[in-house]
Amino acid sequence: MSAEPFLLTPEALRHPDSTKWLKYPEGVLPLWVADMDYGISPYITAALHERLHSGLGYFTYHRPEPQMAPLLRQKLATQGVSDLPLGGIRTLPGVVPGLYASVLGLTSPGDDVISFTPIYPPFLSAIADHGRGLRSADLLHQGAGWQIDWDALEAAVTPAARLLMLCHPHNPTGRVWTRSELERLADFAVRHRLWVVSDELHADLSFVGPHTAFVSVNPELRQRTVTLTGPCKTYNTAGLGIGAVFSHSLPLLDRLNRATAGVMGQPSALSMTMWQAALEGGGEWLEAVLEQLRANRDVLSARLADELPWARYSPPEATYLALLDLRAHPRHADIQPFLLQEAGVALNDGLTFGAGYQGFVRLNFATSPDILNEAIDRIVQACRL
């Protein structure tokens, strides 16, 4: 199956509800928020149509687990996750609510939370919004790409540290933590008696082979880890909010439920149908998308190396997000507004990923080759030193 047929036109993408395409004026190329410019799998479209003919009343409340749980279990088994107890998978209205629920359920006000920066911004807001302290270990950006600074990680531990928040694969660097890095992190979490929330939403978008779930690398993690997953990055369905949290520890999941009792809400019937359909029949579509994403990533890497050699950049091992270090540019202090103004390209500002990331921008390359190449032309033109 060729990748081209699922590319949406800019006219279709400028749907009145689209955050990505409507935040900035027409003419600006929006390569920011993590949506792909691709239509969804026809298999999902068909399932959604069918669902509309079956009524939209309350659903699944009588079940201990959602309908798609057996399919999700099969998929998790390929990531090394086995023996989840009945009730060990619980749905969420999205993965961000799962980040917040983890902070609320696994820590108390005044506790410290350890994470890596740069990081997907809701990690930071979940900690700050609820009066917990961020202890962040900056990743190192060296020759081999983004790396964990193990000394900084140890230095981040305080007597009040209770929770490690991991993003795997990592947004915004695109790192896929290796098994040996995961094992070392597991040892760290166990040694310091930390709870862990591992956000693995980007697991399917790996260019370096099958995903290894963090909880699978050390049996001692099972009773201290909750893992977040969902379909929205893989199948481009963020507008149909849904996610799930799973754990071998039912008491940990109960803590998340209690901390958010009555305010979490349920995912919608259509989102449940979508996820079920994606797990059943979304594979062929996903393969074509990954082919397109890999090709786009390679174009971006080659062109940046040739045309913007002073920009520091390590091609992501997963995700369709590329973090560019443009600190060598004279306008590094306001590089995102500069590129918006001068290049007509909207990127995410490095500042939002943590203190110290001014001068970085995140570029979403899940678009057509034409739009990507046009955006690179414009960035190169505007950034010429």
Ligand X SMILES: Cc1ncc(COP(=O)(O)O)c(C=O)c1O
* Long-range contacts of 62-65, Cβ-Cβ distance < 8 Å, separation of 24 or more: 65/89, 65/90
- Of 256-295, which residues contact ligand X (CB under 6 A)? none
- Of 292-321, which residues contact ligand X (CB under 6 A)? none
CA 182 to chain centre: 18
Q: Is 124 in the site for ligand X (CB under 6 A)?
A: no
Nearer to ligand X, 189 or 318 (CB): 318
Measured in residues, the chain has a length of 385
> Contact with ligand X (CB under 6 A): which of 8, 44, 167, 311?
167
User: Would you call 359 helix, strand, or coil by DSSP?
Assistant: coil
Q: Is 69 in the site for ligand X (CB under 6 A)?
A: no
- Of 313-372, which residues contact ligand X (CB under 6 A)? none
Q: Is 30 in the site for ligand X (CB under 6 A)?
A: no
> Contact with ligand X (CB under 6 A): which of 3, 40, 68, 201?
201
| β-pairing verdict for 140-142 and 345-346 | unpaired
Q: Is 246 in the site for ligand X (CB under 6 A)?
A: no
Nearer to ligand X, 118 or 359 (CB): 118
User: Would you call 112 helix, strand, or coil by DSSP?
Assistant: strand
End-to-end CA gap in the chain: 42
User: Residue 46 to residues 52, 248, 268, 284: CA-CA distances in angstroms?
Assistant: 10, 34, 17, 15
In terms of Cβ atoms closer than 10 Å to its own Cβ (0-12, 13-18, 19+), residue 62 is exposed
At position 239, the amino acid (one-letter code) is G
Nearer to ligand X, 234 or 308 (CB): 234
Query: Treating both helix axes as pointing N-terminal to C-terminal, what angle do 283-307 and 369-383 enclose, rounded to 10 degrees?
Result: 20
At position 284, the amino acid (one-letter code) is E
At position 74, the amino acid (one-letter code) is Q
In whole angstroms, the minimum distance from the beta carbon of 77 to ligand X comes to 22
Nearer to ligand X, 120 or 195 (CB): 120
Q: Is 94 in the site for ligand X (CB under 6 A)?
A: yes
Q: Is 230 in the site for ligand X (CB under 6 A)?
A: yes
The first and second tokens of residue 158, run together, are: 């305080």
Nearer to ligand X, 125 or 147 (CB): 125
Q: Are 314 and 141 in contact (CB under 8 A)?
A: yes
Q: Of 239, 369, 346, whose CA–CA distance to 22 is shortest?
A: 346
Q: Which residue is nearest to ligand X (CB)?
A: 94
Q: Is 199 in the site for ligand X (CB under 6 A)?
A: yes
**Using CB under 6 A, which of the segments 69-77, 89-97, 125-133, 147-155 binds ligand X?**
89-97
Q: Are 107 and 162 in contact (CB under 8 A)?
A: yes
> How far apart are alpha carbons 269 and 266 in whole angstroms?
9
In whole angstroms, the minimum distance from the beta carbon of 243 to ligand X comes to 5
In whole angstroms, the minimum distance from the beta carbon of 360 to ligand X comes to 16
User: Would you call 145 helix, strand, or coil by DSSP?
Assistant: strand
**Using CB under 6 A, which of the segments 2-10, 92-100, 150-158, 334-342 binds ligand X?**
92-100
In whole angstroms, the minimum distance from the beta carbon of 235 to ligand X comes to 12
Nearer to ligand X, 100 or 338 (CB): 100
In whole angstroms, the minimum distance from the beta carbon of 232 to ligand X comes to 5
In whole angstroms, the minimum distance from the beta carbon of 321 to ligand X comes to 8
In whole angstroms, the minimum distance from the beta carbon of 241 to ligand X comes to 6
> Contact with ligand X (CB under 6 A): which of 95, 101, 104, 106?
95
> How far apart are alpha carbons 357 and 332 in whole angstroms?
10
Q: Is 34 in the site for ligand X (CB under 6 A)?
A: yes
**Using CB under 6 A, which of the segments 88-96, 147-155, 190-198, 303-311 binds ligand X?**
88-96
> Contact with ligand X (CB under 6 A): which of 31, 68, 89, 96?
96
In whole angstroms, the minimum distance from the beta carbon of 207 to ligand X comes to 16
Q: Are 187 and 214 in contact (CB under 8 A)?
A: no
DSSP 54-68: T-----STTSSS-TT
Q: Is 120 in the site for ligand X (CB under 6 A)?
A: yes
User: Would you call 239 helix, strand, or coil by DSSP?
Assistant: coil
Q: Where does this chain bind ligand X (CB under 6 A)? A: 34, 94-96, 120, 167, 171, 199, 201, 230, 232, 238, 241, 243
